[in-house]
Structure 1
Amino acid sequence: MTTPPYRGSLLRWLFPHRHIEPEDSPKTSPIFDEPWRNISWGDTASSLQYVQNFQPENKDISHLRILLYGPIGAGKSSFINSVSNVMRRRMTCPALASSSVQSGHSFTKQFQTHKIRRGQGNPRTFCPFVFNDIMGLEEGEGEGVRAEDLNLALKGHVKEGYKFNPVSSLSNDDPYYNSAPSLDDRVHVLVCVLSAAYAEVKESILQKMANTREAASNLGIPQIGIITNIDQACEETEKDLKNVYKSKHLKMKMKDFSTAVGLPLNCIFPVKNYSEEIELNDNVDALILSTLRQMIDFGDDFTDMN
């Protein structure tokens, strides 16, 4: 394996806590005077309506398929639950998530498709987009989801319920192999998820992420990045979530993310997943909806051209 070109790009990721200035250095503000990216904090209703009203331009598909991948503990399942919370307007748990990664292994073992309910009314209807949650990326060979399985999932060859095997890939004679995937079965948006609170991101995991990005790029699949746990990584954002695009620390994290995985900065979005809350929060919703709108727009453009 060649040494990734981004080896030095995540040095700051190795030290996730706030930078401590020497005692004799002049104090600088941890936040910018103005946000470097604009977001409509007080207008979640219009963003929610946009998502609620979304219908794919391509009438040959019933939904957009969004695949989330990343290291274990990045918050993939929690993001799916957070989207469900926003759309249902209450706390939900469609994707089982773990609050601990102490075992060092992925909590998600199977290829799962999660449909998102619309609102709370009847009859029961679902949004025209679904999420696929997969086994997390782990360090070393024979650990975590295999690159071959990820590539098969991108093309729609993996059936619901397939149990990932870290040491053996899905074969074309397996009953969980979809030999004739439809456009509905294919992935329409690939989402890389990293946590801002990670102590470090191993080079072997970054290499696996780079390989997956290359496979998706060869298929023309649009890609975005999500950086989670922003409140845990930045004191100013923990105090006020509206500081997310003022935080110098988080902007630095996002730039490092961009360099490490090769995604443009305007395709990377910080979010706070619902974790300790028992009621909805408008500011949490605003970041999730802002990210979700980009996902469905990117996916809709992709399916409209295929």
Structure 2
Amino acid sequence: MSGQLPDRYMDKLESWIGTGPKIFTLLYKITRDGCNATTFHQKCDNQGPTVTVLYNQQDSVYGGYGSLSWNSSGNYIQDTNAFLFQMKYSGNDTHTKFPVTQAIYGLYGHSTYGPAFGSGHDLYTFSGTVNSSGGYYALDGYVRIGNAFNNQSIDAKQINNGNMYVTELEVYSVTDGDRKKSPPQASQPWRKTPEWNEKFLETLTEDIVSFKPSGELGLSDVRILMLGPVGTGKSSFYNTINSVFKGRISQRARCGNATHSITTAYTPYLVKVRSGASLNFRLCDTRGLEVTQGLDILECSYLLDGSIPDYYEFNPATPICPDHPGFVHHPRVPEKIHCVLFAIDAKTVGDIPPKLVEKMNSFQKIMNHKGIPQAVLLTKVDLACHDVASKISNVFTSTKIEDAVDKVSGLLGLPRNNILPIKNYENEMQLDDNISILALLALRQVLYFAEDYIESIQEKMSALKLSSQRLTKGDVVQKSGDFVKE
């Protein structure tokens, strides 16, 4: 099993060490060797210069370099060349070197400790034995840079996300020599699509224009409810789709940056083609989700059932109830929601407040109970990845976007293919085929989910109708038998 430290990080460490090309050889790896202080010292003591690297659940990478050998003496190891570092924070490369300021406390060698740097200590990894739990190791160490190393005005939480839950810890020996670098590999898409060109855009457009819900339930269109934290771009998604079919940038739905939701009413937007004909779906916009304000769980249930009237203005102080004059007590299938589309910002996936995640999960329980399908718009992908910003079609080869998809899948418990990356029209003054393709690709998938749901409803209604007919027929037979007996 090889190490997971990439060449670009080795290059950076070489430049920080500053004494020429280096070869990095893996000595110790906790997922292979176990997280055990004795094992660490058996494999790493008296090996000369080493680099210790920690990788955590939030996709942060940090560690320390020592130019002298580890030992088990129970004493500090004076090292004028030692430094701590971070390579990545919450999925973004962040190269920072924290030089030693008190060399006498550079390293600390102790038989019951894993790698430890500085007095106090600045970086203390673990002691004794730590077992894996749920795919990570809850190390009993900490980060407190600022004692024997210069913290560069960076808080410890901005290095390890405020925890020592790591997925891996590695120690490499560092020796002089020209390193054989891995050959560059062509990026393989983590989600395959046809080639992005005008023909693909036309295909997506035709598929959406031709979409029509089954006529058995009296549906002229399906309703897609858009939910999401404030500022994630759900209203902008409607504007993006509307722009594609209008052939120009459109701003029908109000959107922008604000502390609280700009959207205040339940608005089922239609999308029209240039001829003026309406497409067979509605993107239903509503208030943004907030921890203490915004849509509550009862209002969400009413929305799903079709009980909240179109264009209802939400009142944070007085949630709607069945006594409201516009409340729909007996909604028909066309008024109900047929798919829910959460909007989540790709750049801030790891920063969503836990209480807000809990709120979305509580909404999902209602949706699951009602059998309503759910998907996620992973918005602002251009802000989450430079490669995607330079070329939108890189979205399905970007590891940062793939990581964001994985995180959202874990947060909401949805399959990865229900997480749909998009970039809304926001700074553009004219349409861009790649932005349009990505938006239509997401919309087409959502319509497929709604179509599947409608088929399930029809099957249930057919089964209930058949069951009712059987009961009625049995009742007639029973009554006839009673008459004969009399």
TM-score w.r.t. the length of structure 1 is 0.88
Q: Structure 1: where are the runs of 5+ without partners?
A: 1-8
| Counterpart contact for 1:113–1:130, Cα < 8 Å | yes
| Counterpart contact for 1:17–1:233, Cα < 8 Å | no
Query: Where do 1:179-258 residues align within 5 Å?
Result: 179-198=329-348, 200-258=351-409
Q: Report the aligned-residue RMSD.
A: 2.6
**Any idea what the Cα deviations from partners look like across 1:85-114, whole Å, max 9, x if unmatched?**
11222211221111x12xx21111111110
Number of the residue aligned with 2:450: 299
| Counterpart contact for 2:58–2:90, Cα < 8 Å | no
**Relative CO higher for 1 or 2, CA cutoff 8 Å, sep ≥ 6?**
1
**Any idea what the Cα deviations from partners look like across 1:120-161, whole Å, max 9, x if unmatched?**
12xx21001001111011123xx1111111111001000012
Larger Rg: 2
Secondary structure in structure 2 of the residue aligned to 1:208:
helix
Match of 1:55 among 212, 215, 218: 212
**Any idea what the Cα deviations from partners look like across 1:186-230, whole Å, max 9, x if unmatched?**
000101110113272001110110011111111111111110000
Q: 2: distance between equivalents of 1:29 and 1:303?
A: 50
1:34 aligned to 2:188? Answer: yes
| Counterpart contact for 1:145–1:165, Cα < 8 Å | no
Secondary structure in structure 1 of the residue aligned to 2:92:
coil
Secondary structure in structure 1 of the residue aligned to 2:93:
coil
TM-score w.r.t. the length of structure 2 is 0.56
Aligned length: 290
Secondary structure in structure 2 of the residue aligned to 1:293:
helix
Query: Where do 1:264-283 residues align within 5 Å?
Result: 264-283=415-434
Secondary structure in structure 2 of the residue aligned to 1:20:
strand
Query: Where do 1:58-77 residues align within 5 Å?
Result: 58-59=215-216, 60-77=218-235
| Counterpart contact for 2:247–2:431, Cα < 8 Å | yes
1:96 aligned to 2:246? Answer: no
4+ residue runs of structure 1 moved beyond 6 angstroms? Answer: 22-32
Q: Structure 2: where are the runs of 5+ without partners?
A: 1-55, 61-88, 98-171, 458-486
Decide whether aligned partners of structure 1 residues 294 and 287 sit closer, same or farther in structure 2, where only a CA change above 3 A counts. same
Q: 2: distance between equivalents of 1:113 and 1:29?
A: 52
Letter aligned with residue 111 of structure 1: Y
Q: 2: distance between equivalents of 1:181 and 1:173?
A: 15
Deviation at 1:68, TM superposition (A): 0.5
| Counterpart contact for 1:94–1:114, Cα < 8 Å | no
Q: 2: distance between equivalents of 1:17 and 1:273?
A: 22
More displaced 10-residue stretch of structure 1: 163-172 or 125-134: 163-172
Q: 2: distance between equivalents of 1:257 and 1:10?
A: 14
Q: 2: distance between equivalents of 1:276 and 1:39?
A: 26
Q: 1: distance between equivalents of 2:284 and 2:294?
A: 16
Q: 1: distance between equivalents of 2:417 and 2:184?
A: 22
Q: 2: distance between equivalents of 1:29 and 1:133?
A: 48
Q: 2: distance between equivalents of 1:263 and 1:17?
A: 21
Match of 1:176 among 294, 316, 326: 326
